[in-house]
């Protein structure tokens, strides 16, 4: 790959339980390209019209980033989706359930 270009992947897992498919596009962009430019070039907006990827978040390798973040060769741009549940609430429910379980040595107050 020439130094004036970089190869990146744009990836989105829409969470369709019937297909478990992952939407993914491999792109070759000019050096200095940004996350926003990769998102625009990927065709994501055409495939998911009306959805705002920045509302839930976009990142590189699990770390949120801005549209203006510069890309490096072989970066993976990830478009996040909304959670179906609140992780903190799930932990609270599991802890409460364990406290009520027989033999836990604890009693609910």
* Tens-binned pLDDT, residue by residue, of the chain (109 aa): 457 999 999 999 877 666 668 899 999 999 999 999 999 999 999 998 998 999 989 999 989 999 999 999 999 999 998 766 666 776 777 778 777 777 655 555 5
pLDDT on residue 29: 98
Phi, then psi, of 26 in degrees rounded to 5 = -95, 130
> What is the per-residue pLDDT for 86?
62
pLDDT at 46: 95
- Say what the pLDDT of residue 21 is: 82
Q: What is the residue whose two structure tokens read 């590189």?
A: 60
Global pTM value: 0.71
Q: Is the dihedral of CA 15, 21, 39, 30 positive or negative?
A: positive
Boundaries of every domain in the chain: 5-100
**What separation in angstroms does the CA of 59 have from each of 6, 30, 45, 75?**
17, 19, 17, 10
pLDDT the model gives residue 15: 72
Considering the segment(s) 5-100 as one domain, its CATH architecture is Roll (3.10)
pLDDT at 105: 57
């Amino acid at each position: 790959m020439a130094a004036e270009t970089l190869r990146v992947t744009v990836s989105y897992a829409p969470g369709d339980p019937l297909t478990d498919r992952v939407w993914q596009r491999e792109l070759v962009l000019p050096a200095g390209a940004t996350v926003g430019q990769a998102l625009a070039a990927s065709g994501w907006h055409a495939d998911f019209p009306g959805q705002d990827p920045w509302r839930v978040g976009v990142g590189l390798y699990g770390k949120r980033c801005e549209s203006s973040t510069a890309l490096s060769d072989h970066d993976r741009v990830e478009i996040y989706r909304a959670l179906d549940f609140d992780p903190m609430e799930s932990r609270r429910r599991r802890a409460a359930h364990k406290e009520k379980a027989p033999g836990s040595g604890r009693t609910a107050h």
